[in-house]
Amino acid sequence: MRAPGAGSASVASLVLLWLLGLPWTWSTAVALGVYVGGGGWRFLRIVCKTARRDLFGLFVLMRVRLELRWHQRARHTIPRIFQEVVRRQPEHLALVDAGSGVCWTFAQLDAYSNAVANLFCHLGYTPGDVVAIFLEGRPEFVGLWLGLAKAGMEAALLNVNLRREPLIFCLGTSGAKALVFGRELAAVVAEVSGQLGKSLVKFCSGDVGPEGVLPDTQLLDPLLKEASTAPLAQPPGKGMDDRLFYIYTSGTTGLPKAAIVVHSRYYRIAAFTHHSYSMQAADVLYDCLPLYHSAGNIIGVGQCLIYGLTVVLRKKFSASRFWDDCVKYNCTVVQYIGEICRYLLKQPVSEAEGRHRVRLAVGNGLRPAIWEEFTERFGVRQVGEFYGATECNCSIANMDGKVGSCGFNSRILPNVYPIRLVKVNEDTMELLRDAQGLCIPCQAGEPGLLVGQINQQDPLRRFDGYISESATSRKITHSVFRKGDSAYLSGDVLVMDELGYMYFRDRSGDTFRWRGENVSTTEVEGVLSRLLGQTDVAVYGVAVPENGLMKSAVAQGRRECSRSSIKCLLLWRALFQVEGTGGVEGKAGMAAIADPHGQLSPNALYQELQKVLAPYARPIFLRLLPQVDTTGAAPCLFVYPSVF
């Protein structure tokens, strides 16, 4: 097939002929001759099928670019943009806590965040200082980081599932001078308090009596009540390219990495979502995703702060309450990850699911197998599936509802948004290069690693990286599109069809995804090895069959294990009894452990794992072996519930 680039040149020639004054009929005839002569009939087919999609995508791209340039030139920041929203609609609902029923207007959110800004300035913190936030999703979470941003400070948003060593690590790498934690996480902080250092000032947010206060901890709420709610002037020198906060993302090389989110990145992610799916200020968005991740805090809350939407928060997804909440608060947009859609489909039919006003579901991980079942059963007219990561510069979005696709890149004008799928060695994930040393682009239907060309002067293409410079450098490669250029390595394998639609295939590197979180095998291996006295350990993700197949899987597992003398133990059997592990999106953790003498106690090990690993990071299966082959043992997907 003639490369789309040739077709792009023909389109350019069409425009050129028109600009030279030739009639459209002549220009079109000449361009058509170029297409046909160059074997471009297939390209014409692509143009006919994708022109409308591509034009809308170009409109969104240009609109976001123009908005960002205007804000950059005006030296605006996210707090400054929020102030304009407050001015327009101070009494409009901004945030609703579905769990407690607490509602904040834009004026109340503004006042709370002003109090935060004034308090931390009064306490001696200065622009550029980092304050860690460790509390569950509720309006105060948003008010805290927004208030810190008003004072020019930066928030480190900690995953509430972190425990012990990972929690200490994240606090240490952030360089935080203070920690604000919720009363619900006081026990977690107490476990590590002695290892945090005396220089870290601790504040507890929420209703807690004096007897519940940790040593060397101040109650935040009384301090905020005494603080001024007068607005602060924007710190001098701050703009869209300055740091807003840090989000911790699971990496392929170990413990979580602190991704840098600058003001322009926050705006870009929220704006792309808003315009891609034609959201309006009258929409009400339901956000039951964690606020320490970009999906919940930028895609969701960003609609409130930048565009004035009401956002309904629920700190944890509840399948039984989901549609009731949507009906109660008149939600028109919901957020999801793949697991949410599957759990909703497993719920019995309810009255609420037929009375809601939801027209749009935005998220990622919705499997093609249940896509149409989800939209038809719940009457959701549009699914906004997207691909992206907090730090990446190659996000894509499905704007026209193509089932199974996570986005697209134009085949007509591919260089307008310079991302590419490139060939890699499937075993080592090493980039393959041609004789000139450039990466080899994939053809339609070929899986490849997604990369995005870096341009630090362009807010749509910049890569801000991580606090760790070494982690940042590992995500950058060179000479991809042309000699000497730089590109961001997504670490994800996608495939693109002939029309430019992309489909997620696999996550490369030493990670797997479970229950909506990326799990680092290196981190889990390190924890297990330490607990077991530096025993050899290998951790990997395995797909778990549907619940209906579990019995046959167990039976097959007994046969397999009896032949190979391998014991496969279920570490968390409650998963099968409560909500089911079979069929959950992603892969469950399998830990292969060297136990040549059969001395390991699974129950004792699991008790220790509960103390040091987040629930999503704990291995579900344990595989005991005489020795561990770290070059890659064949996965074992079977369980022995009777072990306990």
User: Would you place residue 567 in the very low, low, confident or very high pLDDT band (cuts 50, 70, 90)?
Assistant: very low
Residue 507 has pLDDT above 70, yes or no: no
Contact 205, 180 (CB under 8 A): yes
Give the phi and the psi of residue 609 in degrees, each rounded to 5: -65, -35
Query: 528, 531, 507, 532: which is closest to 590 by C-alpha?
Result: 528
Q: Render pLDDT for 18-30 as a digit per residue (tens, 0 to 9).
A: 555 556 565 566 5
**DSSP reduced 3-state for 607:** helix
N- to C-terminal Cα separation, the chain: 60
**DSSP annotation string for 71-84:** HHHTT--HHHHHHH
Indicate the helix (H) or strand (E) that contains 241. none
What gap in Å lies between CA 593 and CA 626, rounded to an integer? 8
**Arithmetic mean of pLDDT, 567-589:** 51
Q: What pLDDT, in 10s, does the model give residues 160-183?
A: 988 888 899 999 999 999 999 999
pLDDT in tens, 364-402: 988 888 899 999 999 999 999 999 989 999 999 999 999
Q: Is 252 exposed, middle or buried (0-12, 13-18, 19+ CB in 10 A)?
A: buried
Stretch (H or E) spanning 10: helix 4-19
Return the pLDDT at 604.
Answer: 82
Q: What percent of the chain has pLDDT above 70?
A: 82
Among 93-97, 152-156, 195-199, 626-630, where is mean pLDDT lowest? 626-630
0.85 surpassed by pTM: no
**pLDDT tens digits for 208-244?**
765 566 778 999 999 999 999 999 988 888 999 999 9
Q: 3-class SS at 402?
A: coil
Cα torsion angle, 171, 174, 180, 181, sign? negative
Measured distance CA(118)–CA(124) in Å, rounded: 10
Least confident of 342-346, 469-473, 526-530: 526-530
Give dist(CA 67, CA 337) in Å, integer.
28
What local confidence, expressed as pLDDT, does residue 564 receive? 38
Angle, vertex CA 230, rays to CA 226 and CA 232, nearest 5? 115
Q: Which has more confidence, 83 or 425?
A: 83
Give yes or no for residue 633 having a pLDDT over 50. no
CA-derived radius of gyration, the chain? 26
C-alpha–C-alpha distance, residues 84 and 86, integer Å: 5
pLDDT at residue 555 is higher than 70: no
